[in-house]
Structures are given as C-alpha cells and as structure tokens.
Amino acid sequence: MPVGMSTSGNGLIVALDFSDLQPALDMAERVASQVSMLKVGLELFNSVGPRAITELRETGARIFYDAKLYDIPNTVAGAAAAAGRLGVSMINVHALGGRAMMEAAREAARRGAREGGFPAPLVIAVTIVTSLGDRELREELGLPNSSEQVVRLASLAKAAGLDGVVASVHEVPEIKRACGSDFVTVTPGIRPHWAARGDQARVATPAEAIAAGADYLVIGRPITSAKDPREAVASIIQEMTE
C-alpha cells in the first residue's frame, strides 16, 4: 500500500525552494522533525540533481518530489521509475497528460520503489496550478472555470488509479465529494494569516485548508524565509488545530 502521512501526522509539507543543497539540508535539520514531508521542487532538483532527494532522505525526512511530470506515457514512466528508486514518498504528474500517462506513472513509480527497496510512494496529479485564476484560465487558455476543470481532472486521476491530486483549497470539498474522502488532496497556496500572499492567486489560511478537508498543506516561504523557521512551523501547526 502507498505510504501516507508520517508519524507526525500533521500533514504539513515544507517546500525547500532553494538553488543550493546546503541551505535545504540546513532547513531540513531545523524543521523536518516537526512536519510530515519536505518538498523538493524544480528549482532544487534542477540545481542539484537526484542528490537533493537522496541526501535529504538520509536525514530521515520523507520527500515529496514535486516533479510535475508531463510527457508521453513511456517517457513519464521512465522518470517515475527513477524517482521511485530514489525512495520518494510522494511524486506528482500533470493530470492534463491524460489517463494513459497517469497509469504509466503509477505503475512505474511503484515498480521503481520495489527495485530500490522502498515503500510505494503516493502518486498524485496536478490539476490547475494555484497561480492561475478564473480570468487567466478563461482568457488565456480557453478553459472552463477552475472549479469545473479541477474536479474533472481529479476524477480522471482517480480513474487512472492515482492516490490523489494537488489542488487549491477552494476545490477540496468538491473533489472529496466526487472522488471520496480517502482520495488525497495536497494543497499549495497556503498562507498563514501573518504571511504575504506572494504570487499565488487562490490562497487560503491553514485553518481554512483543514476545515475544507485538505490532507496535506504545502508551505514554503512563510517558513523558509522566517527569522525562526521552527517558530513559524509551530505557529502554523497551531493555526491548523484551532
């Protein structure tokens, strides 16, 4: 069975959006014990390579590889298998790649994990990135409003056998209704009440995310740019449980 939340059980994922490995390792040392996972995204992976995942995982942290894979099924399968062999706990693909691509990613990630001697990772799909609002979707991409599009893509991901999706907090209740309460929702665009909005268009506070039914909350800059990251994490966890 795919792995779920870590023993911390709080569902908080810290995004390590650094261009060098050492700051990421330093941040991991400070906050990993307080949270469910650490996220390795495109900036860190493309700066450092697979070493970012292996060295962070060696600290004892569980890793969400925010790969956003999107290509033909065979290419995505190869990348997903490689990530599985690295021991990631969660990896994502783009739902817009279609059912066959998502199915290939799911099977390959699990196969790779077996080959590496690791538990099967959660394989989830990106629906619509939270920097896009309804106006951009409609005027720039010619797509339906975010809610309609997200639920459609989430249902496709479930049909492909994926474990869940990345989606805005605002779509979580509809996703849970359409796909079931055990379908994992990972929510970026989370901003504590004391943090700046940044470049996110569809945001929510930690408390709003939990109330909506989100399983995992991804938070980066409010923690990693804080004067005291441990204190920032503790404050966010308090917001999540209020």
CA 159, CA 201: separation in Å to the nearest integer?
A: 28
SS (H, E, C) the chain: CCCCCCCCCCCEEEECCCCCHHHHHHHHHHHHHHCCEEEECHHHHHHHCCHHHHHHHCCCCCEEEEEEECCCHHHHHHHHHHHHHCCCCEEEEEHHHCHHHHHHHHHHHHHHHHHHCCCCCEEEEECCCCCCCHHHHHHHCCCCCHHHHHHHHHHHHHHCCCCEEECCHHHHHHHHHHHCCCCEEEECCECCCCCCCCCCCCCECHHHHHHHCCCEEEECHHHHCCCCHHHHHHHHHHHHHC
CA 106, CA 80: separation in Å to the nearest integer?
A: 8
Nearest by Cα to 92 from 82, 80, 81, 100: 80
In the numeric block, the tokens 């995982």 are attached to 57
Active site residues: 68
